[in-house]
Copies of this chain bind each other. A is one copy, B any other.
Amino acid sequence: MKAVEASAPATIANLGPGFDVAGMAIEGFRDWVRLELLPGEDVEVRVEGAAARGVAAQPERNSASVAALKVFELAGERRGFRLRLRKEVPVGAGLGSSGASAAAGAYAANLLLGEPLTLQELVKCAAEGERAACGSPHLDNVAPSLYGGFTLILDVEKPEILGIKPTMEFEVVVATPRVRLPENKTEYARRVLPEKVELGLMVRQQASVARLVASILRGDLEGFGKAVSSDYIIEPARAKLIPGFHRVKETALREGALGLSISGAGPSVFAVVRPGEAGRVAEAIRREFNSLGVEASILVTKPSTEGARRELIGDP
């Protein structure tokens, strides 16, 4: 039977003040989906790879297969398939792991059916995959994982996405502290957020959003770093889930990072650095976490201009 393979990158959601609105794809990790039509209507899922542990393989709970099923549904196709998900994006790190699986699943399904859906429609399908994995259909990881580069959600309900290819040269230091996390981390990280925000604080945050969007579009790297560092609502609430967050941020900025914030729901933090300066910043962040008795794995990477993409079919 016909088969395709697709992959989608890890992502950093929010980018500081752009909660649920802004995101960026990064290089370093991808989730891979191999999808094959089956004669009947059965759906089979197999999960493997370095980050496979704990990832649900039930078709109705796996974010890649739920996303693929949604693509089949929107395309009006009722077919069975076999999905093999190879997971590279670490789970529970705040790097859009289930989003990357959902993006790869949706993208592969669309390829398999002859691309009946637009990228924007695939975001919707992948968001359903996210809902299966995390309880709510957020777009801020699946959108950059599908589009690559930067994405802005212009309308949360519809959804409507603006994809922006990065024009700035920079490196990204991602540090994932090894901390014990509650069972459903994403839900938990949402529960610590305030239910309501004072109007004056919202205005400050809107100014930060304006800075974030303007810096990305104008290719203003210093402005981008500053924007990433100026989240007045989400970061203060979630910082307490990350041991030593404020000290880590201070140290990274002192060592030349242009900005630092929490990646998605955390516990990873990410720093925006000028090309060539990632090593020093990475070392400083690692040292700071270690001084608190916390181990942290470090990834030095950069934005991925490519989002979800077709891959050559590997060995079965």
The answer to the question of A199 belonging to the interface, with a C-beta cut-off of 8 Å to chain B, is yes
On whether the beta carbons of B154 and A21 are closer than 8 Å, the reply is no
Shortest A116–chain B CB gap in Å is 26
**Copies per complex of this chain:** 2
Q: How far apart sit A206 and B199, CA to CA, in the bound complex (Å)?
A: 13
Residues of B within 8 A of A214 (CB): 152, 154, 162, 213, 217
Interface residues of A in 140-164 (CB under 8 A from B): 152-157, 162
How many chain-A residues does the 8 Å CB contact rule pick out?
A: 37
29 A-B contact pairs sorted by A residue (CB < 8 Å): A18-B210, A19-B203, A19-B206, A21-B203, A21-B207, A152-B207, A152-B211, A152-B214, A154-B208, A154-B210, A154-B214, A154-B223, A156-B203, A156-B204, A162-B210, A162-B214, A194-B199, A195-B198, A195-B199, A197-B197, A197-B198, A205-B206, A206-B209, A209-B209, A209-B210, A213-B213, A213-B214, A213-B217, A217-B218
Residues of A bordering B, CB below 8 Å: 17-22, 152-157, 162, 193-199, 202-211, 213-214, 217-218, 223, 230, 233
> Given A157-B204, A196-B197, A209-B210, 16 more contacts at CB 8 Å?
A152-B207, A153-B207, A154-B207, A154-B210, A154-B211, A155-B230, A156-B207, A162-B214, A195-B198, A195-B199, A197-B199, A202-B233, A210-B213, A213-B214, A213-B217, A214-B217
